[in-house]
């Protein structure tokens, strides 16, 4: 029996999480494994119920678990709080740091039936794309010290520090090269080495690590060019290796190329089997509570959990196959619906994937 900490969080989090659990329940029956869910509050809802975004009881549930299935946190209700108490900074970032989840995989590919939902021209998306963004998740400008704010008037100032240690770059580079070996053996490292000292360092170390992977083709690209190339011709990329903030930005762009923010799953790993699995998108306050959110990113994140933390590769593939089948059958939530086709609800999409997985 594997234990899963289920942290649905805020906004659309609980809505899409219910559908992922529905699909996991079918997977358990079909593939003969057993999961024990332990639900816990995180984010804004935890502030409301317990006075803090990451209560000790929630952290304890995560520590006792084999994996964390995470929804999303944050929203307008908590934006007025001091920054350090807000859900994103007080729950999600500490969870990533606490469990040393330095390696974030964000796979973005165009599902053929969804090509029309991609905002790119048909001739560009027609070439297809299948990209893995590998994002460093526990260092860089998100966590570097010092951070601060002081002064007043025109001289008032605030600062963050972007710092990377050799060991931090080495370990994420190894994860990216190993992932490239399981794919098309092409790695593009994204940096800003023409301006930032930390990125000159990044490039040097990625080059050093590359010596252990002579079978993987390595290229370096500046972040500004990378964001442009991604819309000009995403087909050219296989694995994109990024620091924390560039990876955050470029993965939203990659998500939209798949058709919707609601399609992009992610796995945050510690280098071993423990991980946190969450959609790359957020709590989507604009559509929360309406039963219209796309649950596929959450469902596909659950599949990544089966693959990376629970060793259930066959079940993971079956869920991904069920998603493809549902899309091929023209079942769409509002965000990916084709003109003239009535969209299904969040629940309708979860039901469709569950049924496809049963058969």
CA angle 319, 42, 244 (to 5 degrees): 70
* CA within 13 Å, CB half, 166: 5
Contact residue for ligand IPM among 7, 17, 92, 180 (CB under 6 A) = 92
| Binding residues for Mn ion restricted to 244-273, rule: CB under 5 A | 248
| Binding residues for ligand NAD restricted to 89-128, rule: CB under 6 A | 92
Nearer to Mn ion, 78 or 142 (CB): 142
Was 283 annotated as part of a binding site?
A: yes
For residue 216, the Cα-to-chain-centroid distance in whole angstroms is 24
Q: In this chain, which stretch among 134-142, 199-207, 212-220, 287-295 interacts with ligand NAD, using CB under 6 A?
A: 287-295
Q: How far apart are CA 132 and CA 187, in angstroms?
A: 10
# of chain residues touching Mn ion (CB under 5 A): 1
Q: List, as one string, the DSSP characters of 298-339.
A: HHHHHHHHHHHTS--HHHHHHHHHHHHHHHHTT---GGGPPT
Residue 286 binds: one of ligand NAD, Mn ion, ligand IPM, none (C-beta under 5 to 8 A by kind): ligand NAD
Q: In this chain, which stretch among 72-80, 119-127, 158-166, 179-187 interacts with ligand NAD, using CB under 6 A?
A: 72-80
Q: In this chain, which stretch among 160-168, 190-198, 289-297, 310-318 interacts with ligand NAD, using CB under 6 A?
A: 289-297
Q: How far apart are CA 226 and CA 328, in angstroms?
A: 31
| Binding residues for ligand IPM restricted to 249-308, rule: CB under 6 A | 280, 282
Indicate which residue of 48, 147, 208, 224 is catalytic: 224
Nearest approach, Cβ of residue 280 and ligand IPM (Å): 5
Interface with ligand IPM, residue 136, by CB under 6 A? no
Q: How far apart are CA 281 and CA 294, in angstroms?
A: 11
Active site residue 252: yes
Was 68 annotated as part of a binding site?
A: no
Q: 215-227 burial by CB neighbour count: b if 16+ within 10 A, else e?
A: ebebebbbbeebb
Helix (DSSP H) and strand (DSSP E) numbers for the chain: 13, 12
Active site residue 224: yes
Active site residue 160: no
- Residues taking part in catalysis: 142, 192, 224, 248, 252
Annotated binding site: 75-88, 96, 106, 135, 224, 248, 252, 282-294
Q: Which residues bind Mn ion (CB under 5 A)?
A: 248
């Amino acid at each position: 029996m594997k234990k899963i900490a289920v942290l649905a969080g805020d906004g659309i989090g609980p809505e899409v999480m219910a559908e992922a659990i529905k699909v996991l329940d079918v997977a358990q029956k079909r593939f003969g494994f057993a999961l024990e869910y332990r639900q816990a509050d995180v984010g804004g809802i935890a502030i409301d119920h317990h006075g803090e975004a990451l209560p000790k009881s929630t952290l304890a549930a995560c520590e006792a678990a084999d994996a964390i299935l995470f929804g999303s946190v944050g929203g307008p209700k908590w934006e007025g709080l001091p920054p350090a108490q807000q859900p994103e900074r007080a729950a999600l970032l500490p969870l990533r740091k606490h469990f040393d989840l330095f390696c974030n995989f964000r796979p973005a590919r165009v599902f053929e039936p969804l090509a029309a939902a991609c905002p790119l021209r048909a001739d560009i998306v027609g070439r297809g794309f299948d990209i893995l963004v590998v994002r460093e998740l526990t260092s860089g400008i998100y966590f570097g010290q010092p951070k601060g704010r002081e002064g007043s008037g025109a001289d008032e100032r605030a600062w963050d520090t972007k710092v990377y240690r050799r060991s931090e770059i080495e370990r994420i580079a190894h994860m990216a090269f190993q992932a490239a070996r399981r794919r098309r053996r092409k790695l593009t490292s994204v940096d800003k080495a023409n301006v930032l000292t930390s990125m000159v360092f990044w490039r040097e170390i990625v080059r050093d690590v590359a010596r252990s992977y002579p079978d993987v083709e390595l290229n370096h690209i500046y972040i500004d060019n990378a964001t442009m190339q991604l819309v000009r011709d995403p087909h050219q990329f296989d694995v994109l290796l990024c620091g924390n903030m560039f990876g955050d930005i470029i993965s939203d762009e990659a998500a939209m190329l798949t058709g919707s923010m609601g399609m992009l799953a992610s796995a945050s790993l510690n280098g071993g089997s423990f991980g946190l699995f969450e959609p790359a998108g957020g709590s989507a306050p604009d559509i929360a509570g309406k039963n219209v959110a796309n649950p596929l990113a959450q469902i596909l994140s659950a599949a990544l959990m089966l693959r990376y933390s629970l060793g259930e590769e066959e079940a993971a593939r079956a869920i991904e196959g069920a998603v493809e089948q549902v899309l091929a059958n023209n079942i769409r939530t509002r965000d990916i619906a084709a003109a003239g086709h009535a969209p299904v609800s969040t629940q309708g999409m979860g039901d469709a994937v569950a049924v496809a997985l049963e058969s």
